[in-house]
Amino acid sequence: MKLTYIYHSGFAIEGDGFTIIIDYYKDTSDNPNEGLVHKELLKKAGKLYVLSTHSHYDHFNKEILKWQKERNDIIYILSKDIYDNQKAGDDAGLYMNKLETYRDSTLSIQAFGSTDLGGSFLIRVQGKTIFHAGDLNNWHWNEESTPEEVKEAEEFYMNELNLLADNVNHLNLAMFPIDKRLGKDYMKGAEQFVKRIKTDIFAPMHFSENGYESAAAFAPIAEANGTKCICWMHRGESIDF
């Protein structure tokens, strides 16, 4: 299988006869006609799944719903909050609440929780177990929060992480936020994640063009926990896994 970093928290997963696009915000190029999604993936043969974990603008771009004009066989799997927040209508796709599952002959997708809007997705496809965190993270903001707020954020995150760990003990791939805006402990949630769930490959996300170096700084922590961290260098970069 192939994983491609599109932008921010957006990824594409390509396998035998299928493509999954998750949390599309912008294409790999600022000129959409030149980006990987528009130039190749929307035209690629096989099943196409388009997933959005929640309604924040940097995870759900309404443009994805217009892709049906290019091909009418897209399978949309969307967090229920996208509907609840009136970002899309009844017939936009399949809406999922926490712990609900979509399954077909190619894959299964189970929705898990978040510490922000919407949820996260656990995907099982062709022998691989893959997780996209959405906005699930230890959003502690330690340098700005009271001890009580920090404790509350910690408990919220650990409850969601433990729920996931109760359902899966090994991931081939996890896509998870490494967001330096959190301050000095910005990698804390990611470290807790790889310590709690055995993860082969960790794909950092939730950063912009100035965030590659801070995301790559997680690599030594990941390696200390038996995990390989991808050190992205640019939009459109791919790895096989």
Structure tokens at 79: 């967090």
Grade residue 183 by pLDDT with cuts at 50, 70 and 90.
confident
CATH code of the domain in which 120 resides = 3.60.15.10
Q: Helices 147-167 and 188-196, interaxial angle, to 10°?
A: 30
Residue with tokens 């997708």: 109
Domain boundaries, position 225: 2-240
| Average per-residue pLDDT for the chain | 95
> What predicted TM-score, i.e. pTM, was given to this entire model?
0.96
**Overall number of domains in the chain:** 1
3-state SS assignment for residue 198? strand
At 92-137, the pLDDT tens digits run 999 999 999 999 999 999 999 999 999 999 999 999 999 999 999 9
Give percent above pLDDT 70 in the chain: 100
pLDDT at 184: 87
Q: How far apart are CA 202 and CA 177, in angstroms?
A: 10
pLDDT at 149: 86
Residue type at 176 in one-letter notation: F
At 193-232, the pLDDT tens digits run 999 999 999 999 999 899 999 999 999 999 999 999 999 9
Q: How far apart are CA 191 and CA 85, in angstroms?
A: 32
What Å distances lie between residue 24 and 11, 12, 136, 172, 221, CA to CA? 7, 9, 17, 22, 28
Q: Does the pLDDT at position 142 exceed 80?
A: no
Give the end-to-end CA distance of the chain in Å, rounded to a whole number. 6
Q: Does the pLDDT at position 43 exceed 90?
A: yes
